[in-house]
Amino acid sequence: MINREEMINRISSTLTFLQFLITNKNSLNLTDLNIHAENFYKDLFGLVFGTNLENTNAHKKNAAHIDLINKHRKVAYQVTAQNDSTKLKESIDGFLSDKEFEDFSLKIILISKDAKDYRSDFTFDGKYKFDHTKDIIDVPRLLIEISNKSIDEISKIADFLEKEVNIPRSKCESNEVETIMKLLEYLSNDANYKKIDKDYECDPNQKINNRFREHATEFKDEYMRLYPIYLNSITESRNMFGLDGVRAEKISSFLIYISNRHLAEASNNPILALDTLTDFFEDKVNLNAIKADVSAIRFYLLNEVIGCNIFSEDRR
């Protein structure tokens, strides 16, 4: 059975990749993906917040300031790829100044960029009720909401994302799968088990965008480049390997231990640490008389960086 942490990792990986994909599409002026995203988030928010939303474009072509609405609950959402305060203030004032919606609450969904540390007055001197710390929803905020839900609700969200986010993926080659299978065998070996007494934090946004912000773009770009090629290989390998809760715990413990050791040896430079980790695991896989697919190993490790098991920080 897939556990809670693994489902959260799957959800995090999918939403983060979609975020990167939309950013790249926008850079090429291919904005149709944003239009489709309105319907995608309509259904996703139905699962996350229990809110039945209506797409305003179905009734009014390109509604000026909102994309989704629930008139019964008096809440509206704008789906946007822009996170600058000027754009956000235009949306807030444009919507809430309309007499028809003056008693509605407005939520803004950032689909390609994270929220900033805003200093602007989004209330317009108290004219509107808008709390940017709660009403601007980016991917990290969405993941927090999802992680607080029940296991059954999280499972429904993970299944929805798997169906809806149709990223073209190359056919798995046997060497990719074999490489990851051998890596999983090594990681879950009893001889490598390390008991972890510390309380490690599972917060990909904090880890990548704050702790390692100088390297965040490099992490994300490489992850996005390898995702369509190797994600299917990881899924197939895990299914074939029979990754149960005990093995998953062994793998998690060893990855936390070995990655933090390499990070310390690299003077807290995560890119250098990831390089040495990749070399380390390539050597281990090659001992099994196969030629390791280094990029498959690299993507597996990047996936664990975005997840919870590599470079995790002690909460205490």
Predicted local distance difference test score (pLDDT) of residue 149: 92
Residue 165, C-beta contacts closer than 8 angstroms, at least 6 positions apart: 14, 17, 18
Q: Give the other-Cβ count within 10 Å of 171's Cβ.
A: 7
Contact assessment for residue 61 and residue 32, using Cβ atoms and an 8 Å cutoff? no
**Tokens 């239009």 map to which residue?**
35
Predicted local distance difference test score (pLDDT) of residue 289: 62
Residue-wise pLDDT for 68-107, tens only, equals: 888 899 999 888 888 889 989 999 999 898 888 888 999 9
Predicted TM-score of the model (pTM): 0.54
* Calpha distance 179→195 (Å, rounded): 26
Alpha helix segments (H runs only) across 266-307: 270-286, 294-306
198, containing H or E segment: none
Strands of the chain, DSSP E:
54-55, 68-70, 75-80, 105-110, 136-137, 200-201, 313-314
Closest residue by Cα to residue 65 from 82, 52, 48, 50: 82
Residue-wise pLDDT for 38-59, tens only, equals: 678 788 888 988 888 888 865 5
Predicted local distance difference test score (pLDDT) of residue 63: 57
Buried b (16+ CB within 10 A) or exposed e, 57-81: eeeeeebebbbbbbeeeebbbbbbb
Predicted local distance difference test score (pLDDT) of residue 104: 92
Predicted local distance difference test score (pLDDT) of residue 122: 93
Contact assessment for residue 147 and residue 8, using Cβ atoms and an 8 Å cutoff? yes
Predicted local distance difference test score (pLDDT) of residue 30: 39
Predicted local distance difference test score (pLDDT) of residue 264: 94
Domain boundaries, the chain: 4-164, 175-314
Contact assessment for residue 11 and residue 144, using Cβ atoms and an 8 Å cutoff? no
What residues in the chain have per-residue pLDDT under 70? 1-2, 20-21, 23-38, 57-64, 166-174, 196-203, 243, 288-289, 314-316
